[in-house]
Amino acid sequence: MFENLSDRLEGVFQKLRGKGKLTKEDVERGLREVRLALLEADVNYKVVKAFVARVRERALGAEVLESLTPAQQLIKIVHEELIRTLGETPVPLDLGGPRPVPILLVGLQGSGKTTTAAKLALFLRKKGHQPYLVPADVYRPAAIEQLKTLAERVGVPCYPTDPKEDPVEIAKKALAEAKTQGRDVAIIDTAGRLHVDEAMMAEAAAIKEAVSPREVLLVADAMTGQDAVNMAQSFQEKVGLTGVVLTKVEGDARGGAALSIREVTGCPIKFLGTGEKLEAFEVFYPDRLASRILGMGDVLTLIEKAQEAFDLKKAQELREKLRRREFSLEDLREQIRQMRKLGSLQEVFGMLPGIGKKIKEIPVDEKELVRMEAIINSMTLEERLNPRIINASRKRRIARGSGTTVQEVNKLLKSYEEMRKLLRKARGPRGLQRLAGQLLRGW
């Protein structure tokens, strides 16, 4: 996410770090490069102009020029102004008022609106709410069936929409049904078009008028850059928005939409869609995103993901096994599965402070984890608990069953033995550091 922008900014600050003292010319040169980096990231030119002006005003004062660490001070200012541009503090959903609380999702076709409805339902269900999904897109083929299927996957009821019915009537009847079922939130997925038009706006406004939603969330594709900002302005003027959900931020997006929407429209970004999985949905924290953009990592989000992905009981069991030095291939398989729940390894490593560009130097192959799990799956329970019994004929059988080679089976077993040795020595921070280094180098 925002890889090109992060690389450009890191390059700018790397040059400045090499100077013991910064002159006004150094600051101006650095700001010109920051300005170009933001424009290349498709940030709205008015937002860039205002951002650079604010940074310049602070950077050319005593705060930087007379500092003992001027480059660090300049980075601090850029970080703070990025947070200000992104919105400073997260804006939570407004779920007050009579139950069920209606939430209206609007946006163009292809922005990921229907999937976002299911992601939001899953997010709210995990927070203790009882959401209800409402398919109100009667124009796109299979839109209703798609939301019904997704509703089953996230364990949430879905209104049985009749595609011949008017979307406004669907929304009203669905709200009544949600109340009958005792649901506390109704998420209404409206129809989109390939481009902004009056018919789409009129229908969204009519549904809003009929159900009085507490939230009207625009679902916008981050990869569309300035188009996402222009669309947000149109919906804000004609329908009225309370927030934005940016989707596909994990792709090769240049980042301009995220950095522009808040300042151009005054509408807060509330969530980020960070992947295809239904769990890939995050609350938008301006400070955390600013840190990611500047290569400072995002440990808080990583911790939250880990807390959600890892089973506390299993973690305690593993800790006890490690204490008794009983780490088996069965335990390794469980840890691989837990790791994969966190998302891609590139994304996980990218949240660690100080890695930045070094992420490209880490030999991370996502398929390796899949192969490792496949090999362990092909073993019998006895073999997983006691790998010493795996002889040549067993290795050939395991390789055939996992679609791998005997060499790859040997590689896994060798890596597992090295991990066991490291675990035995992993006492205190230094031991754990060595273990982390081994895991990062791959197997």
CATH of the domain at 175: 3.40.50.300
Higher-confidence position of 111 and 149: 149
If one counts every other C-beta atom within 10 angstroms of the C-beta of residue 296, the result is: 19
Helix crossing, 226-238 with 256-265: angle to 10°?
Answer: 30
Instruction: Mark whether 382 and 270 lie in a shared domain.
Output: no
pLDDT of residue 183 exceeding 90: yes
Residue numbers of the domain that contains 60 = 3-86
Most confident of 39-53, 63-77, 285-299, 387-401: 387-401
Instruction: Mark whether 42 and 110 lie in a shared domain.
Output: no
Instruction: Mark whether 264 and 321 lie in a shared domain.
Output: no
Residue 69 resides in a domain? yes
Instruction: Mark whether 332 and 249 lie in a shared domain.
Output: no
Residue 95 resides in a domain? no
DSSP state of 65: H
DSSP state of 239: T
Residue 52 resides in a domain? yes
Residue 124 resides in a domain? yes
Final residue of a structural domain among 294, 325, 350: 294
Instruction: Mark whether 274 and 314 lie in a shared domain.
Output: no
pLDDT of residue 263 exceeding 90: no
Residue 374 resides in a domain? yes
Instruction: Mark whether 229 and 268 lie in a shared domain.
Output: yes
Tell me, what's the pLDDT at 368? 79
The angle subtended at Cα 25 by Cα 24 and Cα 28, nearest 5°, is 85
Final residue of a structural domain among 294, 325, 347: 294
CATH number of the domain at 35, please.
1.20.120.140
| Measured distance CA(18)–CA(272) in Å, rounded | 36
Tell me, what's the pLDDT at 432? 42
Higher-confidence position of 131 and 83: 131
CA distances from 39 to 34, 36, 259, 344, 356 (A): 9, 5, 11, 28, 21
Instruction: Mark whether 414 and 308 lie in a shared domain.
Output: yes
Tell me, what's the pLDDT at 312? 55
> Which residues, 6+ apart, have CB-to-CB distance to 4 below 8 Å?
40, 41, 254, 255
Q: Using the Cα atoms of residue 197, residue 199, residue 202 and residue 205 in order, give the sign of their dihedral.
A: negative
CATH number of the domain at 398, please.
1.10.260.30
pLDDT of residue 182 exceeding 90: yes
**Residue 307 is encoded by which pair of tokens?**
């807390």
Tell me, what's the pLDDT at 253? 54
Q: From edge to edge, which strands make up the β-sheet containing 281-283?
A: 131-135, 185-189, 101-106, 215-221, 243-247, 269-273, 281-283
Position 303, amino acid: I
Mean residue pLDDT of the chain comes to 81
Residue 94 resides in a domain? no
Instruction: Mark whether 419 and 314 lie in a shared domain.
Output: yes
| Measured distance CA(85)–CA(259) in Å, rounded | 7
Residue 92 resides in a domain? no
What would the mean pLDDT of 225-231 be, rounded to a whole number?
Answer: 79
Instruction: Mark whether 253 and 152 lie in a shared domain.
Output: yes
**Residue 260 is encoded by which pair of tokens?**
């522009």
Q: How many domains does the chain have?
A: 3
Most confident of 201-210, 276-285, 409-418, 429-438: 201-210
pLDDT of residue 301 exceeding 60: no
Higher-confidence position of 10 and 130: 130
Instruction: Mark whether 170 and 312 lie in a shared domain.
Output: no
* 246-262 per-position pLDDT tens digit: 888 876 555 677 778 88
Chain centre to alpha carbon of residue 69: 33
Instruction: Mark whether 329 and 412 lie in a shared domain.
Output: yes
Residue 93 resides in a domain? no
If one counts every other C-beta atom within 10 angstroms of the C-beta of residue 369, the result is: 17
Query: Poorest-confidence range of 68-82, 181-195, 229-243, 293-307?
Result: 293-307
Q: Quickly list DSSP for 252-293.
A: S--SHHHHHHHHHH-PPEEEEE-SSSTT-EEE--HHHHHHHH
Instruction: Mark whether 75 and 130 lie in a shared domain.
Output: no
Tell me, what's the pLDDT at 364? 52
Confidence of residue 133 (pLDDT cuts 50, 70, 90): very high
Final residue of a structural domain among 235, 270, 294: 294
